[in-house]
Amino acid sequence: MKRRDLLKGVAFAGVAGATGLGGFPGIWTGRNAAWAAGSDIPVGVLFSKTGAVAVVESTLHDACMMAIEEINDNGGINGRKIRPFVEDPASDPATFADRANRLVRRDKVVSIFGSYTSSSRQAVLPVVEGQNNLYWYPTLYEGRECSRNVMYGGAVPNQQQQDFVPWLKEKFGGRFYLLGNNYVYPREENNVARKILKGIGGEVVNEEYVPMGHDSFSSIVSKLRRDKPDVIFCTLVGDSDVAFQREYHNAGLDPKTMPVASLTRSEIEVKAIGGEAAAGHFSSAPYFMGYQSAENKKFVEAYLKKYGQDQVTHFVNEAAYSQVYQFKNAVERIGSGELKPSAIRDAAVGQRFMAPQGEIEIADNLHSYLWPKIGQWQADGQAKVLVDSKSRMAPEPYWAYEGQECTAEGLQKS
Ligand code: ACM
């Protein structure tokens, strides 16, 4: 379903079918050095280990660091090691901006890998745009952004909602209760969901936002009992998602008649929720841990070996891992040329990488071709994939906004 079709309401076509520098020797001097003029390649690693989204963001840090270590253990890039400068921005957008600034100005990094929430990405945006640096952002997000200084590795709404919303309506009914945290990501995803529902004859019965980190959902559960939606369309993140699902379960609500359909919930949130309480609900994502591929087997085995057999991989740390390899491939392409962030960006475009989810590619608009899937959570904490795309889906960050398009030249309006 193309944007034009969505807006006209064409029916669902379906899916076919610092800090952490120990162990990184080098002569990097930091201050006053030109970009990557030393023997090491300096990058920032900016994921929260504390605060409301640490539950997921700490695992992005882990996957990113694992990829860096793998690459360094295999000789680095063109014989040079990647040197990570690690910061903990504590789930706070202002701290993200401050630490990003420090990484760019003081540590002279040529790229930063970072962020889960859109609020933190937006806080970093003026820093990387102002300094013409490059931010590798692995997270699903709301689209409607078109920076030449961000490599968007996660899904945009067309890659998560285009098939999911019509599928949910067909299976459970079209009365949706939209529930999210109060910031740009949930609000924008819900705008898109609203448009899709309108086009296919569904409706929004309620739209509710709770503060970031909110963890008491008894009044929402009462409203759910009152409104009896067919689907709870959920964009809660981090601790809030965990607390909500536990309360839902404790209240005895039934996924067979009122399922939670999430754009954010992955194996890591399900692990925190507990498999029993999450079982029967749904997520739309380009990757699930149980996906069968040689690349995924290698990724999962390495991750569990490094971080513990009780850990999980998921669609955001898979992207965090893959983005480091995409960076590596871009730097390799540059060869002996100067490692300016803009040169890394240009070398990354069009590049294909065999990721754990399948072959992904960086599009001209710096977003990624991905493999959408719909999964149902099981009591063992893993998802059963019910719908699996047969081809990669192109990223269309302005899909729901007619007359606007993100291209290699930036945002185009017609
Ligand atoms: C998000 O804030 N992009 C999940």
**DSSP secondary structure, 343-380, as one string:** HHHHHHTT-EEEETTEEEEE-TTS-EEB--EEEEE-TT
Beta carbons of 45 and 113 less than 8 angstroms apart: yes
Beta strands across the sheet bearing 175-181: 203-210, 175-181, 231-235, 260-262, 282-285, 373-377, 383-388
Q: What is the dihedral of CA 381, 240, 395, 322, to 10 degrees?
A: -60
For residue 181 and ligand 1, the question of a CB distance below 6 A is answered with no
Domain ranges of the chain: 2-155+297-371, 158-285+374-392
The enclosing H or E element of 152 equals strand 150-152
Per-residue pLDDT at 35 exceeds 80:
no
- Composition of the chain by helix, strand, coil, percent to 5: 40, 20, 40
Q: Which atom of ligand 1 is nearest to the CA of 140?
A: 3
Tens digit of pLDDT for each residue in 36-54? 556 899 999 999 999 988 9
pLDDT score, position 38: 60
Tens digit of pLDDT for each residue in 215-261? 999 999 999 999 999 999 999 999 999 999 999 999 999 999 999 99
For residue 300 and ligand 1, the question of a CB distance below 6 A is answered with no
Where are the alpha helices (H) located in 80-133, listed in sequence order?
93-105, 118-130
Q: Is 403 left (phi over 0), alpha (psi -120 to 50) or beta?
A: left
Which residue's alpha carbon is at the smallest distance from atom 3 of ligand 1?
141
CA of 117 to the centre of ligand 1 (A): 4
Beta carbons of 158 and 399 less than 8 angstroms apart: yes
Which residue's alpha carbon is at the smallest distance from atom 1 of ligand 1?
117
Q: Which residues of 178-215 are buried (b: 16+ CB within 10 A; e: fewer)?
A: bbbbebbbbbbbbbbbbbbbebbebebbbbbbbebebb
Which residue's alpha carbon is at the smallest distance from atom 4 of ligand 1?
117
Architecture of domain 158-285+374-392 in CATH? 3-Layer(aba) Sandwich (3.40)
Tens digit of pLDDT for each residue in 136-189? 999 999 999 999 999 999 999 999 999 999 999 999 999 999 999 999 999 999
- Topology of domain 2-155+297-371, per CATH? Rossmann fold (3.40.50)
CA of 118 to the centre of ligand 1 (A): 5
Tens digit of pLDDT for each residue in 55-87? 899 999 999 999 999 999 999 999 999 999 999
pTM above 0.85, yes or no: yes
Q: What is the dihedral of CA 62, 396, 408, 326, to 10 degrees?
A: 20
